[in-house]
Amino acid sequence: MKHRLWYPTCGMVWATVLLASGSVSAGEERQLFNVVLFVIDDLGQRDLGCYGSTFYRTPHIDRLAREGIRFTDFYAVCPVCSPTRVSILTGQYPQRWNITDWIPGRKDQPDQRLQRPSIRTELPLEAVTIAEVLKRRGYVTAHIGKWHLGGKGFGPKEQGFDINVAGDETGTPRSYFAPFRNKGGVMPGLEEAPEGEYLTDRLAAEAVRFISAHKDRPFFLYLPHYAVHTPLRAPAERIRRYPNQPRPGTQSNPVYAAMVESMDDAVGQVLTALAEHRLADKTVVLFTSDNGGLATREGGPTGATYNGPLRAGKGFLYEGGVRVPLIIRWPGRGKPGTTCAEVACSNDLFDTILDAAGGRQPPDPPTDGRSLLPLLDGKPLSERAIYWHYPHYANQGSRPGGAIRRGRYKLVEDYETGRHELYDLSRDLSEEKNLATEQPDLVRQLASELEKWRQQVDARMPRPNPQYRPHPPDANGTITLPARTALIHGQQWRFEPLPHQESLGHWVQTGDSASWDFTAIQPGRFRLELVYGCHSNAAGASVEVSLDSWRQQHTLQATAGTHDYQPHVVGELKVDQPGRHTLTLKLVRPPSRPLVELRSIVLRPVKDGGR
């Protein structure tokens, strides 16, 4: 049962309110603002023109940035959707509510070394949301878009929203085109729709209707679009505006571009409605996304988008997976068109919105965030750390881990091996140089702080998987060890998850090594192949492959390019007994340039007679 909190009754209109506590000093008058919060699904920070994209068309959001403040170092507290949405609505780390993956999450599989901790499949009713707080202050509240925090009995209306359009338990739209239904049901509030209507357009129209109907009282409009989440679908006439020449490692997917443009148009319609009803000066507008852009094969052969120079994307704890846009347009506060480089995260939106609604008033619920309003006025906030805990195997190819950012430094921890990576983001935005061996004291300090935080929020850790059965042979007896499952033991080797790579890259450090477990059904001899791409400038480097007492060195040979993956025979080895074995690859002599990528290692059975 939800805790009932007492709030002073007030017939609030757009006047001013006297605050007895909160971020505003006692007696100071504060205007009560409407709040519009856009949360876009899977939008990468670099998918917007105001953040550097030259391919996607986002004129309305770019204008919002010119009229407001754009944050450069803003983070989602999870690289996937549901947990970040918990943090936005409650102001708390989602680990406190044991929602650490998208709901219901990816099921455990035999090739996982670790077993995921179980998670809640809904935001519990005792959680106090920003909608509930604002509703008790006299606001009318609307949820229009994606919910994905629980089904029947745990929807938006049970969590403080007067109106719900399209929000249910699903993480993807039942359909991007009307009728908005599938075998599982129909999207709430969209039962009637003209054939072929596009969902993003419809949600914008619903938002405009809400603004028009409630223009004379304070309102909170939460607009979490389903776009630009897969499946990639957009109106044909918008897709035709972009060249149909997608290239890996670039922003070039025409369907995704059309989705981004449609989303931008939808934002523009809401901003226009505010202006037409003379509400722009009475409304705080916030724009963000729930995690980084989808850059892996899940988004198609070339990925949905490309997040460079940020590393990786959705599902990963690297910058491409968690650094997201934030734009705030707050009438009368801050210099329009400026940027803010202060580190902040999605937990902070709760307290920021509270300030737009009069500031904190006891007994407002405690949060893990803080208001960003002082930053709009150019006043720095005290330094603090931001934490991540993702104890799951993501659909995008990442593995369980945690991270902490304090100041310029970010530490990433691999839960499978305990390996740490340390990056100086002020000098290395792409997270290319792991400083862990150079600054061991800082690694220990940040790792200790991360562990203490996990205990404070009761973060659940993964455990060894009793059903672990790695890389069994296929029907022909061949065993394939892909780069994505390698355990990395060195400092600079890294898994490159983009679709045209999916490889072990960054060959710069002598002694870097990786290992793979595999399952042999029976003893036998195998021909070992390394499948890699090697630029001519990198040929001549050497690696050592080992299995038990067997060792063999291999000199890398040039292929047609770094991404031209070709098999190269290293030699034959013998597996003496069935069961689990571990194969290790070690870099003996690095190439002169790191233009090598290993896609996989293949063990092919050798039949009698050596064939």
Contacts for 216 with CB less than 8 Å, ≥ 6 apart: none
- Of 320, 292, 325, 262, the C-alpha closest to 69 is 325
3-state secondary structure 528-544: EEEEEEECHHHCCCEEE
Q: Is 345 a catalytic residue?
A: no
Q: What DSSP element (H or E) covers 341? A: none
Query: Number of helices and strands (H, E) in the chain?
Result: 10, 30
Query: Which residue in the list 50, 78, 81, 340 is annotated as catalytic?
Result: 81
Query: Which residue in the list 143, 148, 225, 506 is annotated as catalytic?
Result: 148
Residue 356 amino acid letter: A
Structure tokens given for 445 = 């300090």
3-state secondary structure 445-513: HHHHHHHHHHHHCCCCCCEECCCCCCCCCCCCCCEEEEHHHCEECCCCCEEECCCCCCEEECCCCCCCE
Q: What DSSP element (H or E) covers 343? A: none
Q: Is 81 a catalytic residue?
A: yes
Q: What DSSP element (H or E) covers 277? A: none
Whole-angstrom distance, CA of residue 98 vs CA of residue 502: 31
Whether a cis peptide bond, with omega within 30° of 0, leads into 391 is no
Written as one string, the DSSP assignment of 554-565 is EE----SSTT--
- Distance between the two ends of the chain, CA-based, in angstroms? 69
Q: Which residues are catalytic?
A: 81, 148
